[in-house]
Structure 1
Amino acid sequence: MTRVLQVSAELFPLLKTGGLADVAGALPAALAAAGAEPRLLVPGFPAIRDALSQECAVAPVALPWSEGRAALLRGRLPGFDMPVYVLDAPGLFDRPGNPYADAAGIAYADNHRRFALLGLAAARLAEGVDGAWRPQVVHAHDWHAGLACAHIAASRSRRRTDARTVFTIHNLAYQGLFPADHFSDLGLPPPHYAVEGVEFYGQLSFMKAGLHFADAITTVSPSYAKEIQTPEQGCGLDGLLRHRADVLHGILNGVDYGVWSPAQDDAIAARYGAGDVSGKAACKAALQRECGLAVTPDAPLFGIVSRLTEQKGLPLVLEALDDLIDAGGQLVILGAGDARLEAEFAAAATRHPTQVARRTGMDEGLAHRIYAGSDVVLVPSRFEPCGLTQLYGLSYGALPLVHRVGGLADTVVDCSLEDLAAGTATGFVFNAFTADAYRRALRRAFALWSRQDYWAAVRATAMRQCFGWDAAAKRYVDIYEALSQR
């Protein structure tokens, strides 16, 4: 049974800004069921510290700079059946805002210190500072944990540990880039600042640290694993990824159906399932009332739950919004982000108050109600490493309308004639990232809606899809075991 330390900056349900938290929250239990012995390491953000119980001090963590203090604590968090390590550093983590930025959305100037220390703490655990448990594999998630791989490589060179590392890319576009003159704060040996290290075009890259130093690399869908090896989606790191292709694995994220199932969801107006979808109509009417839309069962309701960024393809939605409105559709948007996109969706809601509703921020309960009440979930992303939104849509019978890219391509089957005939269609897929291609997919959605017998059949197929964590966890455990035997 391989001892594995999962390192992440977020953890659902305690701290979430996006899909990383959902993965970090669901994967440990799946790994345990697949035969690993996982534990977690997370920063001591206020929500984490407030929830920690049975805590005990493990060891201090020496800071690479002069001021401040930090220590590793071990304890329990609600919902997790294994011990959790918390990096307690109040001067770094006890702040308002989200994990990365202040309440105004401005990134903290010392983020390089905050997440370098997270990597350093992972290395200390790999070196055995907790005499009761020592990981054989450290699994670092996204750029925030990328320096764990670099620090453990340095520890191995000093013969302080023989732990191996796995690094998972959740989104290559967010790389953790910092000025080179911050290198002395990272606690790494000077030779690590090199092209064969953390240097990236004259800057520091935490993402590159993970990619270069990890013993195995994973990303969150098979298609994305191929796409990031191309100049178009490699974000300047495609050469390194092609060089390391022999240790790069595309493993599709899963869904925690204990959280994301309409058959057992307490946040929605009525429960329902693939065998009896009658409750979905009640959920739709309740969502329409909650959002101030016309309570019209015959109007197809489109939902968006997303960060409002260009990457998510939302300019396509705005460009074709009149098409959706003129065809009799309704739209609910939940999210925040780019000020221009926020303003344009707000203006659309003002112009069409009975057909367009906009809600800001991250409201977990409303997100569930949008999936339950929507007929279609829009995920027209320019690129999408995996995407969980479309998987939640499938579970709740909100047919995904997606761009054929990354995990969206791996999980949604278009309503083509042959797939309708075969009973495999689950949504609407467009190939080219253009407004015209998106419009054609939108028209296919309205055409299917006009044939409710076909719609019901596709919805039933969608809801029968299963993207649980079992298969992914088994693949991770196979990687851990192979590394721990080296």
Structure 2
Amino acid sequence: MKVLFLAAEAAPLVKIGGLADVAGELPRALRARGLDVRLVLPWHASLSTQGLSPRRAVEVVVPSRGGAYTAQVHTAELAGMPVWLISGEPIGSSASVYSDPPRDSFKYAFFCLAALRAAESLGEIPDLVHGNDWHSAAAVLAVARARASHGPWHATATLLTIHNLPYMGVGGGEALEAFGLAASADERLPDWARLVPLAQALAEADWLTTVSPTYAREIQTAEHGAGLEGVLSARAGRLTGILNGLDLERWDPARDKALYQRFRPDELPRRRRNKAGLLTDLGLDARGEIPLLAMVTRLDHQKGVDLALDALQSLPDPDWQFVLLGKGDSSLEERALTFASGHAETARSILRYDDRLARCLYGGADALLVPSRYEPCGLVQMVAMHYGCLPIARATGGLRDTVCEPAGADGGTGFLFEEPSPEDLRRAVERARTAYREPERWRALQENAMAQDLSWDRSAELYLQVYEKAVGVARGAA
């Protein structure tokens, strides 16, 4: 099966958010299962070509209402993965991956249509176009609408992955219309959504996926559906939640040079040296009888930083130590600093992005707080589990699907709380503290967490199954 995998960003070439990790890792896992995947990216000014050696393959013309635009298509390989880089004036005129909405809408519509024109020119019409988030919506729409013409795209399937539903390209309808993609007439869409790129693609793609089974259910509700719960519920039979995977080469506590002490799952006693090193470097007392809690996050409302600070405020100081690492909203940064200064003997707030320190926290802290108000999938809880750091997480989205707290003492991989409130989080922290006082139970939980299959291989197999369903739908329609 031949697949065009379109994304706005992909690690390690260009990374802003979590989409880059998925786009950098899932296509490789799919190729390992025998699929002929091509990763297609805009050639952003910030994209690194180190190790790529791009060569010019073809030049294509993309017509628009305001005149035609020329796109240059370069091909390259990244560790055996074929990569197409699309450049042209709408892409080159923007210095950043994401800027103001009108400019982004035009840039990504151009990118999508140039990618399809390139596939035609290179004789690389795929069996399936896999788009990611609203940036790839124009490709999904163009293929779906070209199918009726019985041209080269008549049997190509479309799949759209929703990584974070509220980001839908609102205001992008004018750009779509400029490139000949009219407003949707689908009656399942609310009127306001018929010019919104993501909403239109949700209605017209052959299949939809999102990044966890629970999030797939949540976005069909008014609470999480961002006004599109109606069309998503109507399409529930073609909506599949598939957990993202973890790059087990990048995240490996047995080989991670950032750690004070590397360790394997059967060497958990060695892990204690990481906690000792952390506490020393951060100026906290080494107190083995109390848990070291960590939070590695972007500081914003979604991530529940306020819930964590309020929950810890209600616990007695001698019973915990806490390290917060991250940056973001200025008011939350101020709250974090105030909290740490008020708990100088037990807490530290470090307001920066620091990959080495994050790895040391995963490998040395006892538990990781992940109190997100919503979380489509989440990566930090999976990394933490793989490093023997037990998540204390809100039971939402991918957190519910990856963290298990059974009623009994056996089989758990962390601790969950239901309501997005400081009180419910505090109770989960108290359950974790109780378990921590039982070393054999705590070690069993760590072993369970580290034994979970978090690989992209598992995810790729599920995507392969969905690809086959999408192709079946498209060819049935053709």
Question: Common fold, TM-score beyond 0.5?
Answer: yes
Matched, 1:18 2:17: yes
Using the alignment, how far apart are the partners of 2:384 and 2:469 within structure 1?
Answer: 35
Name the residue aligned to 2:166: 173
Using the alignment, how far apart are the partners of 2:169 and 2:27 within structure 1?
Answer: 25
Name the residue aligned to 2:72: 71
Using the alignment, how far apart are the partners of 1:95 and 1:346 within structure 2?
Answer: 35
Does the 8 Å contact 1:63/1:70 carry over to 2? no
Map 1:225-264; keep pairs closer than 5 Å. 225-264=216-255
Using the alignment, how far apart are the partners of 2:382 and 2:277 within structure 1?
Answer: 22
Name the residue aligned to 2:55: 55
Matched, 1:386 2:377: yes
Map 1:122-133; keep pairs closer than 5 Å. 122-126=115-119, 128-131=120-123, 133=124
The secondary structure found in structure 2 opposite 1:475 is helix
Using the alignment, how far apart are the partners of 2:276 and 2:68 within structure 1?
Answer: 56
Aligned match for 1:120, one of 113, 119, 122: 113
Using the alignment, how far apart are the partners of 1:335 and 1:109 within structure 2?
Answer: 30
* Unmatched tracts of structure 1, length 5 or more: 102-106
Residues 392-440 of structure 1: CA deviation (Å, up to 9, x unaligned): 1110111011111121111211164x1x1xx201111112222211110
The secondary structure found in structure 1 opposite 2:253 is coil
Does the 8 Å contact 1:256/1:469 carry over to 2? yes
Does the 8 Å contact 1:311/1:381 carry over to 2? yes
Residues 356-409 of structure 1: CA deviation (Å, up to 9, x unaligned): 333345433333222112211111111111212111111011101111112111
The secondary structure found in structure 2 opposite 1:22 is helix
Q: Measured at CA, do residues 479 and 108 of structure 1 come closer, stay the same or move farther in structure 2, by a change above 3 Å?
A: closer
Matched, 1:161 2:153: yes
Q: Measured at CA, do residues 195 and 354 of structure 1 come closer, stay the same or move farther in structure 2, by a change above 3 Å?
A: farther
Does the 8 Å contact 2:321/2:346 carry over to 1? yes
Does the 8 Å contact 1:125/1:134 carry over to 2? no
CA positional deviation for 1:93: 4.8
Name the residue aligned to 1:221: 212
Residues 246-303 of structure 1: CA deviation (Å, up to 9, x unaligned): 2111112211211112112222222112100233222223333444444444442222
* Amino acid paired to 1:130: L
Q: Measured at CA, do residues 391 and 60 of structure 1 come closer, stay the same or move farther in structure 2, by a change above 3 Å?
A: same
Q: Measured at CA, do residues 307 and 93 of structure 1 come closer, stay the same or move farther in structure 2, by a change above 3 Å?
A: farther
Matched, 1:204 2:195: yes
* Larger mean Cα displacement after TM superposition, 248-257 or 282-291: 282-291
The alignment of Structure 1 onto Structure 2 pairs a total of residues equal to 469
CA positional deviation for 1:329: 2.0
* Amino acid paired to 1:56: R
Matched, 1:439 2:426: yes
* Amino acid paired to 1:262: P
Residues 326-349 of structure 1: CA deviation (Å, up to 9, x unaligned): 143222223232222122112223
Name the residue aligned to 2:33: 34
Using the alignment, how far apart are the partners of 1:161 and 1:400 within structure 2?
Answer: 46
Name the residue aligned to 2:80: 81
Does the 8 Å contact 2:378/2:399 carry over to 1? yes
Does the 8 Å contact 1:7/1:140 carry over to 2? yes
Using the alignment, how far apart are the partners of 2:89 and 2:168 within structure 1?
Answer: 25
Name the residue aligned to 2:438: 451
Q: Measured at CA, do residues 452 and 148 of structure 1 come closer, stay the same or move farther in structure 2, by a change above 3 Å?
A: same
Using the alignment, how far apart are the partners of 1:279 and 1:216 within structure 2?
Answer: 46
Using the alignment, how far apart are the partners of 2:240 and 2:359 within structure 1?
Answer: 31
TM-score (normalizing by structure 2):
0.90
CA positional deviation for 1:96: 5.2
CA positional deviation for 1:196: 5.2
Name the residue aligned to 1:476: 463
The secondary structure found in structure 1 opposite 2:49 is helix
Name the residue aligned to 1:328: 319
* Amino acid paired to 1:468: S
Residues 1-30 of structure 1: CA deviation (Å, up to 9, x unaligned): x01111111212233233222211111121
The secondary structure found in structure 2 opposite 1:275 is helix
* Amino acid paired to 1:312: K
| Identity %, equivalent residues | 37
Name the residue aligned to 1:104: none
* Unmatched tracts of structure 2, length 5 or more: none
Using the alignment, how far apart are the partners of 2:347 and 2:63 within structure 1?
Answer: 51
Does the 8 Å contact 2:317/2:343 carry over to 1? no
Residues 303-329 of structure 1: CA deviation (Å, up to 9, x unaligned): 222222212222211212323561432
Q: Measured at CA, do residues 93 and 440 of structure 1 come closer, stay the same or move farther in structure 2, by a change above 3 Å?
A: farther
Residues 436-467 of structure 1: CA deviation (Å, up to 9, x unaligned): 11110011111122222221121111111112
Using the alignment, how far apart are the partners of 1:85 and 1:196 within structure 2?
Answer: 36
Using the alignment, how far apart are the partners of 2:236 and 2:73 within structure 1?
Answer: 35
TM-score (normalizing by structure 1):
0.89
Using the alignment, how far apart are the partners of 2:352 and 2:321 within structure 1?
Answer: 20
Using the alignment, how far apart are the partners of 1:457 and 1:444 within structure 2?
Answer: 15
The secondary structure found in structure 2 opposite 1:387 is coil
Using the alignment, how far apart are the partners of 1:298 and 1:289 within structure 2?
Answer: 16
Name the residue aligned to 2:301: 310
Matched, 1:372 2:372: no
Does the 8 Å contact 1:61/1:70 carry over to 2? yes
The secondary structure found in structure 2 opposite 1:76 is strand
CA positional deviation for 1:150: 1.0
The secondary structure found in structure 2 opposite 1:262 is coil
Does the 8 Å contact 1:284/1:297 carry over to 2? no
Q: Measured at CA, do residues 76 and 43 of structure 1 come closer, stay the same or move farther in structure 2, by a change above 3 Å?
A: same
Aligned match for 1:341, one of 303, 313, 332: 332
Residues 47-85 of structure 1: CA deviation (Å, up to 9, x unaligned): 4353331422322342634597532211123xx312101
Using the alignment, how far apart are the partners of 1:210 and 1:327 within structure 2?
Answer: 53
Residues 152-191 of structure 1: CA deviation (Å, up to 9, x unaligned): 2233234241321110111112222116555544x1333x
Does the 8 Å contact 1:413/1:427 carry over to 2? yes
* Amino acid paired to 2:436: W
Using the alignment, how far apart are the partners of 1:338 and 1:278 within structure 2?
Answer: 38
Name the residue aligned to 1:111: 104
CA positional deviation for 1:214: 0.9
